[in-house]
Amino acid sequence: MANYLILGGSGFIGGNLARGLVAKGERPKIFTRSSSSITNIEDILDRVDIIYGDFMDDVAVRRATKGIDIVFHFISTTFPSMTIESSVYDVFSNLVPTIRLVEICRENGVRKIVYGSSGGTIYGEPQEICISECHPLQPESAYGQSKLTIDNYLSFYARTTELDVNILRISNPFGPGQKLLGVQGLVAVSMGCAYYNRILKIYGVGESVRDYIYIEDLVDAIIIAGGKPGSSIVNISSGIGHSVMEIVQSIEEVCGKKIRKEFIPPRPGDIQVSILSNKLASEMYDWRPRVDFKEGLSMTWAHIVNRMKPA
């Protein structure tokens, strides 16, 4: 059995990944700030080991990676909506600590890093309907440029050292555990607006198209990548596009209520259509998404309603 460490293990992706590993009989270590909520993992607290620390603290990262075989890196301090003015903070809080993480992992004998990159922002304006890993990399946002820079550094280490690196360019994950009142995740934010009767702000007229992947399917892909020898860069996506308004209307059907909407000017740097191909993931990982989009919406809403019920 390998020893696993999840950086950001109390977050949306990290918490669901921890649950997936626990279901396979593993006992992962979770690295998170002491100020972070552990609500996402409260049902598995007796089957994980929590290490509190800051990603920018080399001493804490060195202690957390001691004796670890595989590191899952799902920490990010910035969001796609953050502007170019946040770039310096991004460098100091994401890029530099990730480079230090690689160096510390090599010192501690870690075999593999699995990194959660961005499929929706890293490629830029699409030159093909379904974007493959060979597509030119021309981000149009500071967030996408940051992710690309981290990808490039990790690829460099994968080429020049003994460390395996699996870069997963993830589309738009959704499902239980995502923040309803957060700043990213259209499905979660829309459901939060439906539940709390808040106004959903929609950029433009809601025509932008993205592909969305249910969290359990994403976790399956992450675990497969962690067990796969060698390094790779792979899209993880459903390969099926949905417009903003199509998603909102589907959520209204699932919730059985109308969402109040406000249409605001489009954001600079937003791509109109971004759909990722998952062909390589199918070939390399023998992986395919199993959960239908509307089925995933129904399960997500049911989870929200059940959690909000009084004890």
- How confident is the model over 102-138, as pLDDT tens digits? 999 999 999 999 999 999 889 999 999 899 999 999 9
- How many Cα neighbours within 13 Å face the side chain of 65? 26
pLDDT tens for 130-187 read 999 999 999 988 888 999 999 999 999 999 999 999 999 999 999 999 999 988 899 9
Cβ atoms of 298 and 254 closer than 8 Å: yes
Minimal CA–CA distance to 279: which of 227, 251, 237? Answer: 237
**Average confidence (pLDDT) over 25-38:** 94
Per cent of the chain over pLDDT 70 is 97
Distance (Å, whole) CA 61 – CA 102: 10
Distance between first and last Cα of the chain:
38
Residue 19 binned pLDDT confidence (cut-offs 50, 70, 90): very high
Cβ atoms of 70 and 112 closer than 8 Å: yes
Q: What domains appear along the chain, each with residue ranges and CATH number?
A: 4-175+213-238+275-290 (3.40.50.720)
Cβ atoms of 177 and 12 closer than 8 Å: yes
Burial (CB count within 10 angstroms: exposed 0-12, middle 13-18, buried 19+), residue 181: exposed
Any bridge partners for residue 166, and if so which?
A: 114, 232
pLDDT tens for 250-307 read 999 999 999 999 999 987 767 899 999 999 999 999 999 999 999 999 999 999 999 8
Cβ atoms of 145 and 86 closer than 8 Å: no
Instruction: Residue 204: count other Cβ atoms within 10 Å of its Cβ.
Output: 14
